[in-house]
Structure 1
Amino acid sequence: MTIVLGIAVAVLILIIIQQFRRRGRGERAAKRRRLFYAQAPAPASAGTGNSEAITDLWLKLERSLPDSYAEAVRSRTLLENPDISEQEYAWRWHELKRYFILCALLDRVPMFSSRLDEVWHQMLMFTREYEQFSRHFYGRMLHHAPHAGSQPMPKERAWFDAVYVQSFGWNKYSADLWGRFFTEPLPKEELEMYANRSADLQQTSRWNMYGYRNQPEIREAVNWLLKRLRSHVHTARRGNKDDLIPVNYSHPEALLFSAVWFSMNEPLGFEEQMVHPEVEKARAHSSGSGCSSASGCGSSDNRDHDSSSSHHHTSGGHDSGGSSCSSSSCSSSSCSSGCGGGGE
């Protein structure tokens, strides 16, 4: 009996020690996040993208989210999560809206960030307002798919990264929330489909065809993305390394070209070719902060981007009449099942 009691006491002590350690790690992580975001500029109120089509879609999103609803979500989130600073919350809200943009473009978009999922969950508490937002912006209900931790979804993550960075670019604050970008190559068999301009979009099962048919803003944004993607696929199919120049993470168009080129020509070395020094720096900041896979990305606004270049490769002279390469951010999230605006 004495031995059993001693074991029970020892187990209880171990549990208490583990709880204190977890609490200490959580407090240290919260302190690091506060210091990190204390230096962050406020996300631009008009979170424009890298094209007029993405900007129009963003403005429609803003019109679909009444100020009263946004403020109610902010107040509830901060009340239930006192460790979140106002600056960090502003970036969480900004990136969650970017996520909603991607849900309008793609058929399925896993929720790759546990910290953004916390805010999305708070939105769902206001049932009527959330339904009104969904139907106004998407034309139907956007269902919640919870963050699923480290569940591997390489193809979905690869497409998330590619569409996000082309639409918004990259910076370290968004990177902290979404996790590391460009760890997985895009599926070559899917990319090959875009070499044919007459390819049926529905055959790819990748794009939000409901929104494409029913929402002009979604249709224009998807068409813009497809134009850029096709241009990069045509160049990458040559497999000519003379097309490559150093990757620049402040250059969304060039960054997307790199992702396409290495996905098609050197998929086994994809992550090594696409890594960026700022990614590792952001990863160090975000350790223990609730992201699943390291650093991610952010804003297309000149005033809040963190521009620097890596030592890897991308294309310079491949532009066929799309966007010019502006400064920006980029992103990637933690993992869940699907959310997307698409599907039938």
Structure 2
Amino acid sequence: MTELLVGLIIGIFIMFIVVNINKTKKKRSLKLVQEAVPTELACRIPEGLPIISRLEDSLNSEYMEKVKKRVLANHPNWTETDFNWRLFELKRYFLLAGILKSVPMFSDEVDEIWHEMIMFTKEYENFSKKFFGSFLHHSPNVERTPIPHERALFDWMYLHLFEIYPNSTKLWGGFLKNPLSKTFLEEVRSASDEKLFDKYFRSFDPIKPLQTKLLEQLKNDIEKAEEMKRQNKSLRKKIKTDDTYSMLLPAMVFLSLYEQDSYTEKMSQLLNKDAGTSGGSVYACGAALSDSNDHSGGSGCSSSGCSSSNCGSSCGGGCGSS
């Protein structure tokens, strides 16, 4: 009788695990918008275009066809468009990995394409060396520990570099939930470019102009935040924009520097749930942003949007070349 009871309990426990695993799989199934991916990774910054060409040239077409075939065989419910969007976002990730020394992978969906690329070991090694000049290692984050600053830095870089689409938001789980590290921002404000490049940026000559441009932009955002602090400006000007995220990035820096404890609360006020979609209304720094009916001057500042972000990652801070 006792053995029967124990067996029953074990059976129920196993069923519980199986049911929850199936629920988890269902939660991870994304329904993407079935539209063609943009050209040139929809990069905003001209300095990025030569690097994107280098990236595309490094991805052998025969190699990527094999990856695609393997991925679609493992995911029979995916369309070619589903694959193409995940690959599109992985290419964006690779560009970021060429800029910074450490870039965590924050999307399980995008990471699936990376995993399959690595299965073709020789082709993947050839790609890494041709594009990065060295092997790009994939280091899984077994503990799935949140790394808020690294996610915030990823978002800041990503949103300065690229146009945002509904599928981008879905695949990365949203943007700008986490503040940048105040210590990091103060270091960027005070340290020499040489020191910052040595500590944070990948040594990669072809991408140096783009790295320089992004560092200048980050310093500019810090200056805007400082000016806003000096003038005691409000974060309450309502605007309408087709590009909510990029308009709000300087105030992401402001809140990270001066109001970090209330960052999440302030972000939820500054950015509505439709962030990144056309015509969304947001609240941003009063003197920094103006709509078409307001041509007043003032220092530029805006705020990071708060859209929910899955900080779950299959790859932690170790993603990068060793």
Which secondary structure does the structure 2 equivalent of 1:40 belong to?
A: coil
Distance 1:253 1:241, change over 3 A: farther
Q: Secondary structure at the match of 1:135?
A: helix
**How far apart are residue 135 of structure 1 and its match?**
0.7
The amino acid across from 1:50 in the alignment is: R
- Per the alignment, residue 154 of structure 1 pairs with 148
* Stretch moving more, 157-166 or 188-197: 188-197
The structural deviation recorded for 1:246 is 4.4
Read off the aligned partner of 1:312 and give its amino acid letter.
Y
C-alpha distance 179-241 of structure 1, shift in aligned 2 (>3 A): farther
How far 1:88 moved relative to its partner?
2.0
- When structure 1 is superposed on structure 2, of 264-273 and 332-341 the one drifting more is 332-341
TM-score (norm 2): 0.81
Q: Does 1:175 align with 2:146?
A: no
| Counterpart in the other structure of 1:108 | 102
The correspondence of residues 1-344 of structure 1 with structure 2, limited to 5 A, is 2-16=1-15, 18-20=17-19, 22-23=21-22, 26-27=25-26, 30=29, 33=30, 36-37=31-32, 39-148=33-142, 150-196=144-190, 198-202=192-196, 205-208=199-202, 210-211=203-204, 215-216=205-206, 218-238=207-227, 239=229, 240-242=231-233, 244=235, 245-246=237-238, 250-275=243-268, 276-278=271-273, 306-314=277-285, 315-316=288-289, 334-335=312-313, 336-341=315-320
Paired residues of 1:107 and 1:342 also in contact (CA < 8 A): yes
Q: Please give the TM-score of this superposition, normalised by the length of structure 1.
A: 0.77
Letter of the 2:272 partner, please give it. P
- Whether the 8 Å CA contact 1:168–1:252 is kept in 2: the answer is no
* Change beyond 3 A, Cα 1:29–1:136: closer
CA distance in 2, matches of 1:159, 1:103: 12
Amino acid at match of 1:103: A
Aligned residues: 300
Letter in 2 for 1:174: S
Decide which moves more: 40-49 or 308-317: 308-317
Unaligned 5+ runs, structure 2 = 290-297, 302-308
Q: 1:334 is aligned with what amino acid? A: G
CA contact (8 A) 2:136 2:321 kept: no
Residues of 2 paired with 1:41 and 1:201: CA distance? 43
Greater relative contact order: 1 or 2 (C-alpha under 8 angstroms, separation 6 or more)? 1
Structure 2: how far apart are the matches of 1:338 and 1:270? 23
Per the alignment, residue 286 of structure 1 pairs with: none
Name the SS of the counterpart of 1:311 in structure 2: strand
Identify if the C-alpha distance between structure 1 residues 201 and 41 changes in structure 2 by more than 3 Å, giving closer, same or farther.
Answer: farther
Q: Following TM superposition, where does structure 1 have runs of at least 4 consecutive aligned residues deviating by more than 6 angstroms?
A: none
Residues 148, 311 of structure 2: 8 Å contact kept:
no
Determine if contact 1:273/1:312 at 8 Å carries over to the other structure: no
Taking the aligned partners of 2:122 and 2:300, their CA distance within structure 1 comes to 45
- CA distance in 2 between partners of 1:49 and 1:258 (Å): 22
| TM-superposed deviation, 1:17 | 5.2
- Measure, in 2, the Cα distance between the counterparts of 1:340 and 1:19: 31
Query: Larger deviation: 308-317 or 136-145?
Result: 308-317
Shift of 1:114: 1.4
Encode CA deviations 1:286-329: one digit per residue, 9 max, x unaligned: xxxxxxxxxxxxxxxxxxx7324343324336579xxxxxxxxx
Cα distance, 1:192–1:132 mapped onto 2, change above 3 Å: same
Aligned equivalents of 1:24 and 1:199: distance in 2?
A: 48
Residue 283 (structure 1) aligns with: none
- What secondary structure is seen at the aligned counterpart in 2 of 1:143? coil
Q: Contact 1:108–1:341 (CA<8 Å) still a contact in 2?
A: yes
Report deviation, 1:102.
Answer: 0.7
The DSSP-based 3-state class of the residue aligned with 2:284 is strand
2-side partners of 1:204 and 1:189: how far apart? Answer: 17
Aligned partners of 1:160 and 1:332: how far apart in 2?
13
State the one-letter code of the partner of 2:107.
S
Q: Which runs of 5+ in 1 are unaligned?
A: 281-304, 321-330
SS, match of residue 106 in structure 2: coil
8 A contact 2:238–2:282 mirrored in 1: yes
SS of 2:178's partner is: coil
Residues 246 and 313 in structure 1, CA contact (< 8 A), matched pair in contact too: yes
- C-alpha RMSD of matched pairs (Å): 3.0
Q: Could you report, residue by residue, the CA deviation over 1:173-228 in whole angstroms, capped at 9, with x for unpaired residues?
A: 111111232222111222223335844344772222x11xxx22x10111111121
Query: Separation in 2 of the partners of 1:17 and 1:27?
Result: 15
